[in-house]
Chains A and B, each alone.
Chain A
Amino acid sequence: MRIALDLNGAQVEADVEPSVSLADLLRTKLGALSVHLGCEQGVCGACAVLVDGRTVRSCLMLAVQGDGRSVTTAEGVPRRRRGEWAAIESAFVELNAFQCGFCTSGMVVALEELLSREAVTRSEVAAQLSGQICRCTGYAPIVEAFERALASSGRLCDGDET
C-alpha cells in the first residue's frame, strides 16, 4: 500500500507491505540508517524516532501507521535544533556520552523530545532515559549531556515533578 509521510522535513512516499515495521521502512527504503535495531522487542530504545513530536519505538509501529504523520530520526534532529545543535553535539562528544554509539541515535531522539518542552526536571530526564539502554557508558555521561543540552537553552529546572 502507498503511504506518504513527512520525514525530517521532506515529503516522501513509499509502497509498503502491511506487515512492514516503520523501522524497516525507514532503514531499507528511506535511507534513515540512524534507526538502529537493537532488540525489535520494544525494550532497548535504539530505534526511537519522533512521530508527530513524540518518541516512538519504530520497531513496534507499522509503517502504514506512519501514513500522514511527521517522522523525525536522528538525521533530522540537527536541522530541527538549528543553532543549538553544535553545542549539543559537542556535549555528547566531550563528555564521552557514547562509546560504540549504537544507542546514540535513540538517545538524540529522546533528547529532542525533551528539548521541545519548555521546562524539564532532572527526574524527567531520568524517566526519559529509562527507556533507552546503553551497554557502554554506565549512563552518567549521557545524563550529563542531556542536562547540559537542556540547561544551555534554559529548559532544565530544579523542581521535582512538574
Chain B
Amino acid sequence: MTLDIDRRKGHLRGERGRFTRGGARYSADFAGSETLAVGFVRSTYGRARLRGVDLTRVRASPGIFAAFDHDDVSGHVAPLPVRYGPGKTYDWHLLADDAVSFVGEPIALVVGVNRGAVEEACEVAAINYEPLDPVIGVDLAQVEGAELVRPEVGSNVLFAAARHAGDVGASLESAEVIVERTFHLARQSACPLENRGVVAFEEPFSGDLVICTSTQIPHILRVAVATVLTRPEESVRVLVPDVGGGFGLKCQVAAEECLVAWVAQHLGCRAAWLEDRWENLVGSNHAHDEWVRLRVGFTTDGEITAVDADVTVDVGAHSSYPLSAALEPSSVAAHLFGSYRVPASHLAFRGVATNKCPSGAYRGVGGSVANFATERILDEAARALGVSRIDIRRRNLLGMADMPYRHPIGGLIDVGDPRGLFDRLLQRVQDETPTLAALDATDARFQPGDSGALVGVGLSVFAEHSSPGSAIYRGRGVTEVPGYDAARVELRDDGTFIVFVSSADAGQRHAEICRHQVAEALGVDSEGVSVVEGDTARCPKGTGTFASRFAVAQLSAALRASTRMSERLVEVAASFLSCDVEEVKRDEMSFVSGAGGASVTVKELAHWLYFPDGARTGRVFEVPVVESGYWDGGPTFPNCAMLAVVEVDAETFVSKVTRVVAVEDCGRVLDEAAVLGQLRGGIVMGIGDATLEEHLYSPEGEILTASFMDYLLPTVGEMPTFELTLVNDERLYSARSESGAKGVGEAGTIGAVGAVGCALASAIRSRGGILDSLPGTPLRLFDACSSRLEKGTVGR
C-alpha cells in the first residue's frame, strides 16, 4: 500500500487527467477491506462534568473489537501540550478527561469491523453528564466571575496582546473627525469538500507507524504523534495522499489523527477514521467569529491621523495545535489598514474561550474581517466627510514611492504599489457612469436596476501577509511551527533530478510548478525532474502548505537547492573536462570546456559519478550528489485592489454578487492558470463568507448548523462575472522570495469579503440599513434595514 502512494506521488502526481477518470486517491481510498473502523463517542453537551463513562454495552455490540475512554488511554497516550501565548501551555487531553467543553468533543473511541457497526455502537455508550451552564459568546465569557471554559488557564482570555506606534491619543485629539464602529464576521469553517480522513498502520518491515492522512502539515503532525505516543520521531511516518481541499482546516492537528495512530500501534491493526460531514461541521476547527472595534481619526479632507483598534475573537473551547489561540486575533490585528498610510496606531487583540468548537485557520484567516472593517470604515468616513469613496482611498493609499514602508500595524513592507493597483482598477470601470456614481459617497442612493433590485458597489484594497517566517510564530509564542520550508535536490545516476520538498499539495499543482521552476534553474528539461512531497520519511522537515507558503518559502528553498546543484555540476564538469571552473560554459544540456571545446552532458556526468571508472585523478566527488535549500524569510505582502457589484432583491433581501473586478499583484506570476484559479476560487469562497456561511449556537451550547442544509456554501449560482488582471511587474517582485513571487492563496477570499461586504452595505444604504456584520444573509440585511439603528458614531 505504501508503494502505491509512493508511485503515485513520485510519478503520477503530474498526471492530472487521472482526476477526471476516477483515478485520484484520497485518504479514505487507502482504508481497504482489512482496515478496522474507528469512531468517536462525542459530547452532546456544551459544558458538563463527566461523572462516568460506561462502555460496557458498546463493547458488547455486534462487530466491535474494542472501546476506550480517557482512563483507558491515559497510560498510553500523553496529553498534547497546547500553547496559548508566549511561554504558556496547558495539557490537551485528546479524549475528554473529567469534563467536556463543546458539543462534538471526543469522549471515547470505538474500534469495529466497519463504520456502520461503530456508529451504532457509539449510540449505546452510557455517558453520565452533570450539565453545567455553557459559556456561549465572548460577552458572557468576559463578565466578572464568569464560569471558566478552561479552568487550567485561569481565565477565559486565552491570549491577549497589544501594540502601539506613535501617539494615538494626541493624533486622535487633533483629528477633525473620529469615526467609530464595530464590525463582525460570523463563525465559519473551511469545509473542504473532502472531510478529514486518517488511515494508520505499523509497517511490518521497519516497524514505523505510518499515518496516511489528509493534512496540510505532515511534519508538524509527525511531531505531535511522536509526542503523545512517546515514540522516536523517526519511527513515525506521515504520508499525504491526494488532499480534497484544505483551506486552513487541515493545518490543525486533530485529536482523532493522533488517536487513530495509537489504535494502529496498540492493536497492531490497520485503523481508519473517516470523518463525516456532521463531525466536520461540529467538531473540526471553526474560524472567525470576531469583533473589530475601530476608532479612526481623519482630517477634513480624509487623511487618516490614527487608528485605534480593539479585536476580540471567540476562539472556542481550546487553543488549537500548532497555531494556537493567537492565530486569529494576531492575524486580524496585523492586516488592518495594510495598504494605507497610518501615522499612529494602537491595537489591542485577544482570543476568548467559549464552549464552542475550537478555532483554527480558514483561508485568509484574520485578513478577511480586517479588510472588511478597514474598507467599511473608510466608506463611513467618506460619507461623514462628504468626500467620495475613491478620493478617501487615493488620499491614504501607499504608492511605490513610499516603499519600503515601515507600517506601524503590518510591519516592514518591502515592495508594493496599492495606489497603482487602485488606479488600474478604476481604469477598468472609467467609462461606466453608474459604477462611478455609486462610488460617490455624497449620494449613496443609486438608481435601482431594471429588476428593481438594490444595487451596491464595494471597494477593497489590501495587503496580505504571506508565508510568515519563524520570527512571527515565535513572537506569538508558537514553537511547534518551524516557520521555514526546505528542499533537497538529488542528481540520480541516470542524469535526472529528484526534488524532495517539505510541503504537501492540496490541489494547487505544486509539484508541476516546482518541477518547471527547478528545471529552469538547473537548465534541464522538466521531464528530467520529478518532485516528491507529502512523505516525512523522504522529505526534509518544514512547515507545510498554508499562508501561500509554497510560492514563497517552499519554492525559494527549492530554487536555492537548485542553484547550489548548478554550481556543483559546473565543478564536476570542470573536473571531467580537466579544465578550470571558470572555463566551463553551458551549452543547453551540456557543459563545454572553453579551452579545448570538449563537452559533456548532465547524463554523462551522472554516469561518470555513480559508476566510477577507477582511474579518476584530481578532485573526487562523492555520491549521492545532493544539495539542500532552506527558506525562513517573509512575510511577503501581495497586494490586490478589488471592486464588487451586488444586487439585493428589494422584497426578499436575497443578494447576488454579479461582478468582481480585481487587479492583483502577487509578485512574479509563476503559472498564470494556477494564479487565476486561486483568485477565482478564493473570490467565490469569499462570497460565501460575505453572504452565506454562518455557524450558529443556541444559548444552551447546541450547534444549529450541522449539515450543508443549514451551513450554506456557494454554488455555481453564486458565481459572479470575473474581470481579473494580473500585474506581474518586475518592480513589484519581492526580494524576500527567491523567485520574486509573493503568494496568491488568500487574496481572492480576503478581497471578496471586503468588497462584497461593502457592496452589500452600499446597496442597503438606500433603505437606511447599516451593515457592519457579515455574512449579509437575507435576514441580516432585512434586520439592518428594519432597525435603522446607527450602531456606531461619527463625531468629534
Tell me whether B308 is interfacial, beta carbon within 8 Å. no
Find residues 129-155 in chain A having any chain B CB closer than 8 Å to their own CB: 129-143
Find residues 671-688 in chain B having any chain A CB closer than 8 Å to their own CB: 673-674, 676-677, 679-685
Find residues 5-43 in chain B having any chain A CB closer than 8 Å to their own CB: 16-17, 19-26, 28-29, 33
Find residues 503-526 in chain B having any chain A CB closer than 8 Å to their own CB: 506-509
Chain A nearest Cβ from B190, distance in angstroms: 8
Q: How long is the Cα–Cα vector from A20 to B117 in the complex, in angstroms? A: 11
Q: How long is the Cα–Cα vector from A132 to B244 in the complex, in angstroms? A: 15
Q: How long is the Cα–Cα vector from A73 to B26 in the complex, in angstroms? A: 17
Tell me whether B498 is interfacial, beta carbon within 8 Å. no
Residues in chain B near residue A89, CB distance under 8 A: 17, 20-21
Q: How long is the Cα–Cα vector from A149 to B26 in the complex, in angstroms? A: 27
Contacts A17-B116, A33-B29, A100-B194 known; A93 to B16 CB distance under 8 Å?
Answer: yes
Please tell me if the beta carbons of A108 and B680 are within 8 angstroms of each other in the complex: no
Chain A nearest Cβ from B706, distance in angstroms: 9
Q: How long is the Cα–Cα vector from A160 to B21 in the complex, in angstroms? A: 31
User: Chain A 118-129, CB within 8 Å of chain B: the 1/0 string?
Assistant: 000000001001
Please tell me if the beta carbons of A130 and B17 are within 8 angstroms of each other in the complex: no
Chain A nearest Cβ from B756, distance in angstroms: 13
Contacts A41-B707, A74-B21, A75-B21 known; A100 to B684 CB distance under 8 Å?
Answer: no
Find residues 270-315 in chain B having any chain A CB closer than 8 Å to their own CB: 274, 276-277
Number of A-B contacts (CB under 8 A): 160
Tell me whether B243 is interfacial, beta carbon within 8 Å. yes
Please indicate which of the listed interface residues A46, A96, A100 has the most CB atoms of chain B within 10 Å of its own CB.
Answer: A100
Contacts A89-B17, A140-B719 known; A135 to B709 CB distance under 8 Å?
Answer: no
Residues in chain B near residue A37, CB distance under 8 A: 28, 195, 274, 276
Q: How long is the Cα–Cα vector from A1 to B506 in the complex, in angstroms? A: 39
Please tell me if the beta carbons of A129 and B716 are within 8 angstroms of each other in the complex: yes
Please tell me if the beta carbons of A138 and B719 are within 8 angstroms of each other in the complex: yes
Chain A nearest Cβ from B645, distance in angstroms: 16
Tell me whether A32 is interfacial, beta carbon within 8 Å. yes
Tell me whether B617 is interfacial, beta carbon within 8 Å. no
Please tell me if the beta carbons of A43 and B506 are within 8 angstroms of each other in the complex: no
Which of A24, A27, A102, A126 touches B193 (beta carbons < 8 Å)? A102
Which of B25, B677, B708 touches A136 (beta carbons < 8 Å)? B677
Tell me whether A58 is interfacial, beta carbon within 8 Å. no
Tell me whether B79 is interfacial, beta carbon within 8 Å. no
Closest to A35 in B: B22
Find residues 91-116 in chain A having any chain B CB closer than 8 Å to their own CB: 92-93, 96, 98-105, 108
Residues in chain B near residue A17, CB distance under 8 A: 116
User: Chain A 63-82, CB within 8 Å of chain B: the 1/0 string?
Assistant: 00000000001110110000
Which of A20, A96, A100, A135 touches B673 (beta carbons < 8 Å)? A96
Chain A nearest Cβ from B688, distance in angstroms: 9
Please tell me if the beta carbons of B20 and A139 are within 8 angstroms of each other in the complex: no
Which of A36, A74, A75, A142 touches B244 (beta carbons < 8 Å)? A36
Tell me whether B768 is interfacial, beta carbon within 8 Å. no
Q: How long is the Cα–Cα vector from A109 to B717 in the complex, in angstroms? A: 19
Please tell me if the beta carbons of B22 and A100 are within 8 angstroms of each other in the complex: no
Main secondary structure of the interface of A (DSSP, over half): loop
Which of B28, B508, B683 touches A138 (beta carbons < 8 Å)? B683
Please tell me if the beta carbons of A36 and B707 are within 8 angstroms of each other in the complex: no
Contacts A32-B22, A40-B276 known; A100 to B192 CB distance under 8 Å?
Answer: yes
Q: How long is the Cα–Cα vector from A44 to B715 in the complex, in angstroms? A: 9
Tell me whether A19 is interfacial, beta carbon within 8 Å. yes
Tell me whether B191 is interfacial, beta carbon within 8 Å. yes
Please tell me if the beta carbons of B193 and A138 are within 8 angstroms of each other in the complex: no
Contacts A99-B508, A100-B245 known; A38 to B194 CB distance under 8 Å?
Answer: yes
Find residues 681-737 in chain B having any chain A CB closer than 8 Å to their own CB: 681-685, 707-709, 713, 715-717, 719, 722
Q: How long is the Cα–Cα vector from A37 to B277 in the complex, in angstroms? A: 9
Tell me whether A22 is interfacial, beta carbon within 8 Å. no
Tell me whether B247 is interfacial, beta carbon within 8 Å. yes
Please indicate which of the listed interface residues A17, A28, A77, A132 has the most CB atoms of chain B within 10 Å of its own CB.
Answer: A28
Chain A nearest Cβ from B506, distance in angstroms: 6
Residues in chain A near residue B16, CB distance under 8 A: 93
Chain B nearest Cβ from A23, distance in angstroms: 11
Q: How long is the Cα–Cα vector from A132 to B25 in the complex, in angstroms? A: 20
Which of A20, A36, A96 touches B677 (beta carbons < 8 Å)? A96
Please indicate which of the listed interface residues A88, A101, A131, A132 has the most CB atoms of chain B within 10 Å of its own CB.
Answer: A101
Tell me whether A34 is interfacial, beta carbon within 8 Å. yes
Please tell me if the beta carbons of B681 and A88 are within 8 angstroms of each other in the complex: no
Tell me whether B647 is interfacial, beta carbon within 8 Å. no
Tell me whether A157 is interfacial, beta carbon within 8 Å. no
Please tell me if the beta carbons of A139 and B277 are within 8 angstroms of each other in the complex: no
Chain B nearest Cβ from A100, distance in angstroms: 3
Which of A38, A74, A136 touches B20 (beta carbons < 8 Å)? A74
Q: How long is the Cα–Cα vector from A17 to B116 in the complex, in angstroms? A: 10
Contacts A43-B708, A135-B247 known; A98 to B19 CB distance under 8 Å?
Answer: yes
Q: How long is the Cα–Cα vector from A132 to B193 in the complex, in angstroms? A: 11
Please indicate which of the listed interface residues B24, B25, B713 has the most CB atoms of chain A within 10 Å of its own CB.
Answer: B24
Please indicate which of the listed interface residues B274, B276, B508, B719 has the most CB atoms of chain A within 10 Å of its own CB.
Answer: B719
Q: How long is the Cα–Cα vector from A101 to B366 in the complex, in angstroms? A: 27
Closest to A95 in B: B673
Please tell me if the beta carbons of A137 and B21 are within 8 angstroms of each other in the complex: no
Tell me whether B242 is interfacial, beta carbon within 8 Å. yes
Chain B nearest Cβ from A8, distance in angstroms: 10
Tell me whether A39 is interfacial, beta carbon within 8 Å. yes
Please tell me if the beta carbons of A138 and B681 are within 8 angstroms of each other in the complex: yes
Please tell me if the beta carbons of B21 and A78 are within 8 angstroms of each other in the complex: yes
Please tell me if the beta carbons of B507 and A38 are within 8 angstroms of each other in the complex: no
Residues in chain A near residue B276, CB distance under 8 A: 37, 40
Please indicate which of the listed interface residues B20, B245, B684, B719 has the most CB atoms of chain A within 10 Å of its own CB.
Answer: B20
Residues in chain A near residue B707, CB distance under 8 A: 39, 41, 43
Q: How long is the Cα–Cα vector from A134 to B94 in the complex, in angstroms? A: 32
User: Chain A 5-34, CB within 8 Å of chain B: the 1/0 string?
Assistant: 000000000000101100010011000111
Contacts A44-B708, A135-B247, A135-B713 known; A101 to B19 CB distance under 8 Å?
Answer: yes
Please tell me if the beta carbons of B194 and A141 are within 8 angstroms of each other in the complex: no
Please tell me if the beta carbons of A38 and B17 are within 8 angstroms of each other in the complex: no
Residues in chain A near residue B33, CB distance under 8 A: 28
Find residues 603-651 in chain B having any chain A CB closer than 8 Å to their own CB: none
Closest to B245 in A: A100
Contacts A38-B193, A99-B508, A103-B193 known; A136 to B245 CB distance under 8 Å?
Answer: yes
Closest to B18 in A: A101
Residues in chain B near residue A104, CB distance under 8 A: 19-20, 24
Chain A nearest Cβ from B782, distance in angstroms: 24
Which of A27, A43, A46 touches B709 (beta carbons < 8 Å)? A43
Residues in chain B near residue A39, CB distance under 8 A: 277, 707-708
Q: How long is the Cα–Cα vector from A31 to B247 in the complex, in angstroms? A: 29
Closest to A20 in B: B116
Q: How long is the Cα–Cα vector from A112 to B21 in the complex, in angstroms? A: 12
Residues in chain B near residue A108, CB distance under 8 A: 20, 22
Residues in chain A near residue B709, CB distance under 8 A: 41, 43
Please tell me if the beta carbons of A92 and B19 are within 8 angstroms of each other in the complex: yes
Q: How long is the Cα–Cα vector from A108 to B23 in the complex, in angstroms? A: 12
Closest to B194 in A: A102
Residues in chain A near residue B677, CB distance under 8 A: 96, 99, 136-138, 141
4 extra interchain contacts, Cβ-Cβ under 8 A, other than A74-B20, A134-B681? A17-B116, A44-B193, A101-B244, A131-B715
Sample of 17 A–B contacts (CB below 8 Å): A20-B116, A24-B116, A36-B244, A37-B28, A43-B708, A75-B21, A93-B20, A96-B674, A99-B507, A100-B244, A101-B24, A103-B193, A126-B717, A135-B192, A135-B681, A135-B685, A139-B715
The 9 closest A-B pairs by CB, nearest first: A34-B22, A102-B244, A100-B507, A138-B680, A99-B507, A101-B19, A43-B708, A74-B22, A138-B684
Q: Which residues of B contact A (CB under 8 A)?
A: 16-17, 19-26, 28-29, 33, 114-116, 191-195, 242-245, 247, 274, 276-277, 506-509, 673-674, 676-677, 679-685, 707-709, 713, 715-717, 719, 722, 748
